[in-house]
Amino acid sequence: MDTSASFNASPELTERVVARRGRLHAFEKLEPSHTALLVVDMQNSFVRPGGGPAWVPAAASICPAINRTANALRERGGVVVWVLNTFIEESLDSWSHFHKELWRPEGSQQRNASMKQGQPGHELYADLQPSPLDLRLPKLRYSAFIQGSSNLHEELRRRDIHTVLVAGTATEVCCESTARDAMMLNYRTIMLSDGCAAFTPEAHAATLSNFMLYFGDVQSCEEVIDGLERANS
């Protein structure tokens, strides 16, 4: 597995986290029926080699961990949501600085063309194992929760979801943005250390370290599955 899809809390981080909240992991027991796995942007444009200008080399390596976690949560009555980065023409005006100032014109055009619904780049990567029971939601911004991006918050509230598990790519962009906003909306939020992939190992470690200290929890997929099993103990 690429090292940008792995994470070990340093002794210094562990000490700071424990000093802040009294234990390393904030959420050690998870109620499956109130938990959702949010799989962010695991689409061909980001995961398939040569898929587009935002390809994340480590992303393909996290598919097995995401599949295991999704299967474990479904079996216990939880919710799996595939969050799909999506481009619509209206975004050129409503998110104009992103499209017109943060990208070169040729890069923006290539990215936008690949992220339109119905395009191969918009489709989920082939190694993933979605179920017909899962939700698929388009998002128009980095964060799935920010106003104007998606109806994820409404869908989760309708299902009485209190805890969200954030997986996908890129760790330091859409996963982090979604996870931070989830915490701000009062969800118990866990980023999956081996279920997220970043552009570099350094970005992966920095993002997860900061999130674990200030915003929520960071656990491996196996730790999350153990937490789901402990709900019945």
Task: Say if residues 80 and 131 touch (Cβ distance below 8 Å).
Answer: yes
Higher pLDDT, 177 or 101: 177
Q: What is the pTM of this model?
A: 0.93
Supply the angle between the helices 11-21 and 201-214 in degrees, to the nearest 10. Answer: 20
Q: What is the pLDDT of residues 52-106, one digit of tens each?
A: 778 999 999 999 999 999 999 999 999 999 999 997 667 767 777 776 777 677 7
Q: CA-CA distance, 110 to 139, in Å (whole number)? A: 18
Buried (b) or exposed (e) across 199-210, using 16+ Cβ within 10 A? bbeebbbebbbe
Q: Count how many domains the chain has.
A: 1
CATH code where residue 104 lies: 3.40.50.850
Q: What is the pLDDT of residues 120-147, one digit of tens each?
A: 999 999 999 999 999 999 999 999 999 9
- Residue 100: domain span: 3-230
